[in-house]
Amino acid sequence: MVASALSPIAALYGNIAAARMTKGEPYRAQRPVICIGNFTAGGGGKTPTAIAIAKVLQATGKSPAFLTRGYGGSAKGPIQVEDQDAGEVGDEPLLLAAIAPTFVSADRVAGAKAIAETDADIIVMDDGFQNPRLTKDFSLIVVDAASGLGNGLVMPAGPLRAPLDAQIARADGLLVIGEGKKAASLIETFEGAGKPVLKAKIEPNCDPRWLGVMPVIGFAGIARPSKFFATLKSNGAGLTASHAFPDHHRFTERQARALLKEADTRKAMLVTTEKDWARLSNDDDESAVAELKQRSAPFPIMVKFEDEPGLKELLSTATKR
């Protein structure tokens, strides 16, 4: 009912978004650009996929650098992520910077030019698929097999960032993460167009047995907190409570105190995502937010490709222009 009421606005937004994607002549960077994007707003696994792609490239002798918008941070850039906090550069860049040189730039062209001044020989762009200003040598679209494209409508009636046909035309490959059938029609479309379809799964990037030591209170401010809580359970956590917050949420002192008090009452440990943990500030050692960071633990995950040799071949072809 709500989607139907919003359909006229969605149609207008979709036309604008589709036109924007083809606007102007894109800049050709001095380094090959691999873009990790998605068709919808919100999560889907872009950042862990970008990290996994960078590691594959490093294993083949490449020196990748990440380019990202730094959503949630104040920096416009271009700026290299070094010792800044999430308030300045965003949470995802802090995770990326642990793997390879990372540049935050609202202007993707300026960011690509900054990377060209470094020793990096390839750019891995986390998000930015719909941004028309920078030429992409290979755009890999990430989709969650369990959620797919939602109702298939354009924002605000649905999750799509632009009309699906316009986006598929500009995509080079599809990565389906996890189990489920919600991406079946999308897989069929990509395969029908002769575009590669890869599959992957989310795995713990640690020995998960520590989750079973004592009761767990999970908290997360990501696009799909329920997915994180399900991951904790499937890896042995005795989840006694879970608290969901908006994506890229900045935790307040009051919220931090409430979580700490609940952990004391339930005699439980606090577990969150790597992104949330990176976003918790510890600038003020006396603050409840700093204590929350000290007393909580991130549960690290990674993307594991089913056909890594096939992925390497795709990336090799894409980077030889």
- Domain residue limits at 55: 2-202+303-319
Number of domains into which the chain is organized: 2
Domain shared by 219 and 309, yes or no? no
Contact of 68 with 49, CB cutoff 8 Å: no
Domain shared by 30 and 161, yes or no? yes
pLDDT band for position 162 (cuts 50, 70, 90): very high
For residue 236, what is the domain's CATH number? 3.40.50
Domain shared by 219 and 314, yes or no? no
Domain shared by 132 and 252, yes or no? no
Task: Report the amino acid identity of residue 176.
Answer: V
Q: What is the pLDDT of residues 23-74, one digit of tens each?
A: 778 999 999 999 999 999 877 899 999 999 999 999 999 999 999 999 889 9
For residue 14, what is the domain's CATH number? 3.40.50.300
Task: Please report the pLDDT score of residue 9 as a whole number.
Answer: 64
Which region among 11-25, 83-97, 134-148, 167-181 has the lowest average model confidence (pLDDT)? Answer: 11-25
Domain shared by 110 and 258, yes or no? no
Torsion, CA 133, CA 160, CA 95, CA 179, rounded to 10: -130
Domain shared by 287 and 308, yes or no? no
Domain shared by 193 and 282, yes or no? no
Q: What is the pLDDT of residues 225-269, one digit of tens each?
A: 999 999 999 999 999 999 999 999 999 999 999 999 999 999 999
- Proportion of the chain above pLDDT 70, given as a percent: 93
